Structure 1
Amino acid sequence: MDQSLKETLLDRLRAYLDGLDTADAPESAVAETADASPMATEVAGDPADDEARDLFSVFAEIAATRNEVRTQSRIVKDALDQFRAVFETLQSGNAALDRELKEARARAGEQTRTILRPLLLDIIDVRDRLAAGLAAGPPENRSPWWSRWRRTASVPDSWREGLEMTLRRLDRVLADRRVTPIATIGRPFMPDVARVVATRDDPSVAEGLVIAESRTGFEWDGQLLRAAEVIVAKRAGARDRSDRGDVE
């Protein structure tokens, strides 16, 4: 926009505002002024003044719109801040709830293990007794081949079948509870899951390997439930050989 046009518009706007100040004057003074200077009517009805008033109205509406937009923006910003605070509160609450649920599950798991551990150990003890009784019993009676063609077959060892059936049921119960035996025989001695109850000098076995078990160990969900009692191979040292009178 040209500078001269800007100054003209500002002058007209200033004149318009001055005219507003004189609007509160007495009607008689306004009438005398109108009668004394007929040019005032011509100025009042000048199209340039109408254009200035239109521009002033546009500027006033733009200013009002700008203020309204600022107000609405401030309201939206406050609402977003409140939503952000609520979201952060919900997020922290969910995190705390998740943490409490995990702790509750851990406590429940520990309580379950504390309650079931003695019962599982009792079942394992009963299983050991059954296995020991089955191993210490008389050998199984096997019918000769020619008895198949005889009308009277030999009576099976019912007590052995009963023990074996009970032993299999106990093993199934333990397996359902994720209780598994620990394999130690033929492997290096592992102090984390077994303890040595005896040693044996066996030249055919490498030193430190488990030769036999006096009690089987068990794990529960990957954790030690009962340690195994094992017999470990141990070579006789030079001192033992000297005590026996051997000379190298």
Structure 2
Amino acid sequence: MDDSIKQALLSRFQAYLDTAETEAPEPRTETSDLYSLFIEIAGLRSEVRTESRLVKEALDQFRGVFDMLQASQANLQQELERARSAARDQADAALRPLLLDVIDLRDRLLAALTFAAAQHSGWVGRLLRRPASGDEAWQEGLRMTLRRLDQVLLDRRVVPTQLVGLPFDPRHARVIGTSADGSAADGTVLEEVHTGFLWDDQVLRTADVIVSKSATGKGERA
């Protein structure tokens, strides 16, 4: 090939390269930018929906676990209450006969003190003329024991009934006699012959009482 032709071709190729370097790139159209934006928004919306669904599922699972824990705690609390109630019932069942024995012993001590006081003030005491100091000593011992028994009962929430002057209540007492008393309405408790006792809100022992009766009938005593 002739050198002049080669030189002409090289010149034309160099001119083409110079033109390509100085030519500005074609600007992006507004339509292309909006389309890309819509695609990105659609992708972001899809991601948000996916994340929201995952969060909702996690919250539902947490709510289910929380409800299950609450139900388990409620059941456990009920079981504990039943166990405590059963334990209290067993303890009360074991303690009840012991309390009745203490009350019976108290009745015997009180009867002994009453009998001793009656003898000391009656003609038998004057006839025997026992030393007052000796009688007073053992009677004081009985009174101390009686006070101790009353304290033992009180510590265990056992208190004597106080029914005199109140209407007769078959839940707390048993009628063993009647008496005509014009100052009291029929059925009013006039005397507790045998004291009753309450244990908390339960009747531990019913009282034996005498109640008033109208004067039309004679007083009776069992």
TM-score, normalization by structure 1:
0.68
Structure 2 counterparts to residues 92-131 of structure 1, below 5 A: 92-131=71-110
Structure 2 counterparts to residues 225-236 of structure 1, below 5 A: 225-236=204-215
Which residue, out of 27, 30, 47, partners 1:47?
Answer: 27
Q: Tell me which residue corresponds to 1:213.
A: 192
Alpha-carbon deviation of 1:109? 1.6
SS at match of 1:155: helix
Alpha-carbon deviation of 1:141? 7.1
The separation in 2 between residues aligned to 1:71 and 1:138, in whole angstroms, is 97
Amino acid at match of 1:91: Q
The separation in 2 between residues aligned to 1:105 and 1:138, in whole angstroms, is 48
Stretch moving more, 176-185 or 101-110: 101-110
Amino acid at match of 2:94: I
Root-mean-square deviation (CA, aligned residues, Å) is 2.5
The separation in 1 between residues aligned to 2:133 and 2:172, in whole angstroms, is 43
1:77 and 2:41 aligned: no
* Consecutive unaligned residues in structure 2, runs of 5 or more: 1-22, 122-131
Stretch moving more, 130-139 or 73-82: 130-139
Structure 2 counterparts to residues 154-193 of structure 1, below 5 A: 155=133, 157-193=136-172
Q: Tell me which residue corresponds to 1:91.
A: 70
Alpha-carbon deviation of 1:47? 2.4
Runs (4 or more) in structure 1 with deviation over 4 Å come to 139-142
SS at match of 2:204: strand
1:200 and 2:179 aligned: yes
Alpha-carbon deviation of 1:140? 9.0
Identity of counterpart residues, as a percentage? 53
Asked whether the 8 Å contact 2:189–2:210 carries over to 1, the reply is yes
Q: Tell me which residue corresponds to 1:11.
A: none
* Consecutive unaligned residues in structure 1, runs of 5 or more: 1-41, 143-153, 242-248
Asked whether the 8 Å contact 2:181–2:215 carries over to 1, the reply is no
SS at match of 2:210: strand
1:132 and 2:111 aligned: yes
The separation in 2 between residues aligned to 1:137 and 1:205, in whole angstroms, is 32
1:223 and 2:190 aligned: no
Q: How many residues align?
A: 186
Which structure exhibits the higher relative contact order, with contacts defined as CA atoms closer than 8 Å and separated by 6 or more residues?
2
Alpha-carbon deviation of 1:46? 4.0
Amino acid at match of 1:104: A
Alpha-carbon deviation of 1:52? 3.4
Alpha-carbon deviation of 1:57? 2.4
Alpha-carbon deviation of 1:235? 2.2
Asked whether the 8 Å contact 2:182–2:215 carries over to 1, the reply is no
Task: Output one character per residue of 1:41-82: Cα deviation in whole Å (capped at 9) or x when no partner.
Answer: x9xx54254x43333322222111111111100000000100
SS at match of 1:47: coil
Amino acid at match of 2:179: R
